[in-house]
Structure 1
C-alpha cells in the first residue's frame, strides 16, 4: 500500500491532497474546506465540510441514521 501527500494550488487556492493506493477516494484540505474527492477524468466531489456544515452528494444508510440529539428529539 502506498500513501501520498501532495501540495498544490488550484485557481490560486493552496491545497493538500492525501490518499492511498488502497482507495480511489482522496482527501483535499484547503484553508476553508475539507473535501473527499473521487479522482478521474471529471473529478467528483463526494462530500465536504465547510462553514461548520457537512455536505454529502449521495448517502446510503445501511443500519441506522439519527439526526439531532435526545434533548431536541431526534
Structure 2
C-alpha cells in the first residue's frame, strides 16, 4: 500500500491515493494542473499536464478533463 500514516485514510499515502485498482496523484497551482493515474498492475496509465486550471474556466476545464479521460480509456481498451 505504499507509505501510510495513521492520520490518513487506508487508501492514502504520501502524494497519492488508491481507488480500487487505480493509483493516482494530482496537483495544481495558479494556471496549471497535473494528473497522474495508472493501473496498480503497472500495465497502463497516463500523465496529464496542462497550462489551464479550474479557476480560469471551471466548465471548460472539466470538459477538457472528461475528453482526455475518454480518449485514454478508449486507447487502453483498444490496446
TM-score range, shorter chain: 0.3 to 0.5
Higher alpha-carbon Rg: 1
- Give 1 or 2: higher strand fraction: 1
Which is helix-richer, 1 or 2?
2
- In the superposition, the TM-score normalised over structure 2's length comes to 0.38
Per the normalisation by structure 1, the TM-score is 0.40
